[in-house]
């Protein structure tokens, strides 16, 4: 197995479409629903990966078993990985997980597809994974926090609707709670705080890595020039750039939907997001 690749992001950041395109590279392995259904019998997964490279059959297999985040797989091998209330760190790694998980990962690749790609959203879990896989590579997709916050409030699986006492983004600090109260416990303010919290966790995790292990790019840059971003990603991951992979990217242009937070929210709601997220928006060049 070559160095595993972990794709991280806050959620609603464009990581899903990036992941779905990256796993079309002929040298990467990835996990799907079959891994979730059979987390302790990975021979089915390896068969699926092998069939991917069979002419005609491969396309059918890819459609039947699309790449996913497979949190059931993770929970079966790393208890608590799926829904921690805070970010996981190196201190959370047990001796058993550090010993056994690399062996499990070895079963997720094939002779042709030796580099495994996993996508994770929400908490970065970077320090935790780095403790287990010290040579792992991390790719972070950054998106305008206001677009992320708006997108969160448009999906029914966002746990912020239950309030911070029931969500999976940890307890609010006194300062964060004051900001939320200032805006009348607005759900948009809460979504903005979540972006702040998860971005901070990724920034903190990044500090344990060498520069050569972390690659970051912006969602809107990927939409504007998909081929250029993926060339950089392939260089970072030491993946060959193939004509077939480039042709696939050109057949799948991406649309930047960052504009929606401005067209679909009221001026007051926009002002809330700008106030709650200002420091991070400035840090990443969005204001």
3-state secondary structure 200-241: HHHHHHHCCCCHHHEEEEEHHHHHHCHHHHHHHHHHHHCCCC
pLDDT digits (tens, 9 = 90+) for 86-137: 999 999 999 999 999 999 999 999 999 999 999 999 999 999 999 999 999 9
pLDDT for 208:
98
pLDDT for 246:
98
| Mean pLDDT score across all residues of the chain | 97
pLDDT for 50:
96
CA angle (218 as vertex; 59, 211 as ends), nearest 5 = 95
pLDDT digits (tens, 9 = 90+) for 187-232: 999 999 999 999 999 999 999 999 999 999 999 999 999 999 999 9
Q: How confident is the model at residue 254 (pLDDT cuts 50, 70, 90)?
A: very high
pLDDT for 12:
97
**Average pLDDT of 2-19?**
97
Q: How confident is the model at residue 161 (pLDDT cuts 50, 70, 90)?
A: very high
d(CA 30, CA 32): 7
**Average pLDDT of 20-49?**
96
pLDDT for 146:
98
d(CA 212, CA 44): 34
CATH number listed for the domain at residues 5-283: 3.40.50.300
């Amino acid at each position: 197995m070559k160095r595993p690749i972990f794709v991280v992001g806050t959620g609603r950041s464009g990581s899903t479409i990036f992941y779905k395109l990256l796993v079309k590279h002929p040298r990467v392995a990835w996990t799907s629903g079959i891994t979730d259904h059979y987390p302790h019998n990975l021979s089915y997964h390896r068969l699926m990966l092998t069939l991917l490279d069979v002419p005609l059959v491969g396309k059918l297999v890819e459609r039947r078993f699309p790449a996913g985040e497979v949190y059931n797989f993770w929970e079966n091998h790393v208890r608590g990985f799926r829904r921690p209330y805070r970010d996981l760190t190196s201190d959370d790694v047990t001796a058993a997980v550090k010993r056994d998980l690399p062996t499990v990962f070895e079963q997720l690749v094939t002779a042709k597809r030796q580099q495994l790609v996993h996508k994770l959203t929400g908490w970065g879990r970077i320090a935790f994974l780095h403790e287990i896989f010290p040579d792992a590579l991390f790719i972070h997709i950054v998106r305008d926090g206001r677009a992320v916050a708006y997108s969160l409030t448009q999906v029914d699986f966002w746990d912020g609707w239950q309030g911070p006492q029931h969500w999976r983004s940890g307890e609010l600090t006194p300062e964060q709670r004051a900001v939320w109260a200032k805006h009348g416990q607005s759900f948009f303010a809460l979504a903005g705080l979540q972006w702040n919290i998860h971005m901070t966790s990724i920034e903190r995790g990044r500090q344990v890595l060498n520069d050569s292990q972390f690659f970051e790019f912006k969602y809107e840059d990927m939409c504007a020039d998909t081929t250029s971003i993926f060339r950089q990603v392939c260089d970072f991951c030491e993946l060959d750039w193939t004509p077939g992979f480039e042709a696939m990217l050109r057949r799948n242009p991406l649309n930047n939907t960052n504009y929606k937070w401005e067209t679909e929210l009221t001026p007051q709601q926009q002002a809330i997001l700008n106030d709650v997220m200002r420091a991070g928006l400035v840090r990443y060049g969005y204001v």
